[in-house]
Amino acid sequence: MRNNEKKYGDYFLSKADDSAVCVHSVGVHIYRKRLIRNSNIIQNERKGRKVFRMRKTIILFIMICLIPVGFADQIFFDLSDHWAAPSIYWAADKGYVNGYPDGTFRPEQPVTRLEFLDIYQEILIRNGVFDMELQAEEYFYDDLVENEWGRGVVSSLEGNFHLRGRSLNSIFPRPLLEGEYPLTREEAIQLLAWVVPESMDQEEIAFLDSIGESNQDAVERVVGHGIFTGYPDQTIRLQDGLSRAEATIVLQRLDSRLQILKAPETSRLMMPTTIYDDVFLDYGKYEDLVEKDEEGNMTDDGRYLRLVRTLEYLSFDQQIPFSEKKLYDEQPVQTLVSLRTGEYWNRLGVDYYLLHAAEFSEEETQMLAKEMFLNYMVRDDLSFVETKQLFQHYSQCLAEIELAENAYAYWAAQIKNNQELFTRYTLKARDHLARGEIIEARIVYEWMREQMNLEGTKVYWIFTGELQRLYISNLIFLDDLIGGEKSVHNLIGRIQAEIEALEMTETEKESAHAVIDELAIRYQWEKIKVLP
């Protein structure tokens, strides 16, 4: 205790503050402006607060570390050791599922019919299988009249299933949906089978418990694609319920398979791409040409190059800033017309950008396309990418098929590698398809195969790497147009047998088979978007 302080219990009071001591009936209360607590008590309290804060920090850190990476937005307190936690957090992150107000997910609780249908239709819409705008016309279960959420889910599903000749009524007979009832495994499999393709090599799947003839195809489809599995005792237990955790796992597998549809390969003609495919090109060699004459005036070449830069700028920004206007052409279309009437040498480039920048009638478009291709066939200064863009955008505008054939023949003489050859043949096949000539489009690929098989053999494995994959993918697409799944099945069988006969290492054969198998699976899944 310092000399100028008096002690009152555990407190020290400066002598100058003696006047702050007041006596009350209940005891003595000490008042002062500055109370100095016993240093030991102060230190102990501070130490206690630090320890408490440290413990809170450590506990919080441990909790965060236990959360699966990428799913920290929502935490369910009953999933710390659950086998389905990663899938449940995936679904929560996607917005497919929610937990309960008490912070639990209740993974072992049965999933209800409406809960499953809601996630199911959301996955189909997001992956492009279903159209969000399609709704059933005046079709509702009696117990959904007052349930706006349930009515919306069922209406969306029924509207899309109607186009495929399906109805929820075949699984959940009217008049009541009973959406709060637990969904059975049988009902889930039937729903999944409607959007799962039949496997081309589908084998009969045997379970020890009864499946029933009416469920056989659905079970084989869903189990065959790995979306649904049985139990370790080789049963599938169709009449049992599906837990919320199991439902999440099953629907995650469906979503994973449907990712194929976001980048289709076997449902359209595919071509190799380059980084210059969407670039505004010059359509001619301008390296040695001058943009301004000796007096500083813009030459026709300069005017042309400036308008090309202008159109490119306007393609990603609707307006040119005032400070930069002197670098660009304020009236690019008028400049194109001026160059065209002045018989500028690059007729192809002028007509190409006229068609890009202005609107023309079909007859006018055909006339400009004809001028472009006639100009193309008397020149040899276009790059491969420029030629590709020309044919890709305007070869279908040619009214005279003979002119198109001559233009493709002229291009053939300039081919330098397999990528250019493949691109040329694919664009020609595309033109045949545009005219409804499916057989002719397929014959184009036979010509390409003959050109690549110089030794007289007619094998399908004629390219390497990604080019070979695109080639097989396009064959599948064309064969499907001609003969459907049977034709594709035969094509894949021939290619698989051919791989075994070719002189390849075992590693190369495995890689080749893997490509074919993947494309076969992609074909099956991409077909669900066009199934009746």
What value does the CA radius of gyration of the chain take, rounded to a whole number of Å?
Answer: 37
* Mean pLDDT along residues 181-204: 84
Q: Are 205 and 220 in contact (CB under 8 A)?
A: yes
Confidence of residue 259 (pLDDT cuts 50, 70, 90): confident
pLDDT reading at 114 higher than 80: yes
Better pLDDT: 448 or 265: 448
Reading the block at residue 330, the tokens are: 């304020």
Asked if the model's pLDDT at residue 206 lies above 80, the reply is no
pLDDT of 519 > 70? The answer is: yes
pLDDT digits (tens, 9 = 90+) for 357-389: 999 999 999 999 999 999 999 999 999 999 999
Segment 490-515 shows an average pLDDT of 93
pTM of the model: 0.72
What's the mean pLDDT in 119-148?
A: 87
pLDDT (0 to 100) of residue 44: 52
Check residues 9 and 258 and name the one with the higher pLDDT. Answer: 258
| 162 or 27, greater pLDDT | 162
pLDDT at 12 over 50: no
At 73 the pLDDT is: 66
Q: Using 50, 70 and 90 to split pLDDT, how confident is the model at 55?
A: low
Share of the chain above pLDDT 70, in %: 83
Q: Using alpha carbons, list the distances in angstroms from residue 273 to 52, 394, 442, 461.
A: 61, 18, 22, 21
Residues 6+ apart with CB under 8 A from 275: none
Predicted confidence at residue 265, as pLDDT, reads 84
Identify the pLDDT of residue 62. Answer: 52
Taking phi over 0 as left and psi of -120 to 50 as alpha, with beta for the rest, 112 belongs to beta
Average pLDDT (241-264) is: 90
More confident call, 491 vs 23:
491
DSSP assignment string, 397-441: G-S-HHHHHHHHHHHHTT--SHHHHHHHHHHHHHHHHHTT-HHHH
- Mean pLDDT of the residues in the chain: 84
> What is the reported pLDDT for 85?
93
Check residue 202 and give its pLDDT.
54
Q: Residue 466: is its pLDDT beyond 70?
A: yes
Determine the residue type at 275: I
Tell me the pLDDT tens digit for each residue of 420-447: 999 999 999 999 999 999 999 999 999 9
Scored b (16 or more CB within 10 A) or e, 471-480 reads bbbbbbbbbb
Chain segment 324-352, per-residue pLDDT in tens:
888 898 899 999 999 999 989 999 999 99
Q: How open is the CA angle 88-92-94, to the nearest 5 degrees?
A: 120
Rounded to an integer, the average pLDDT of 87-112 is 93
Is residue 37 pLDDT above 80, yes or no? Answer: no
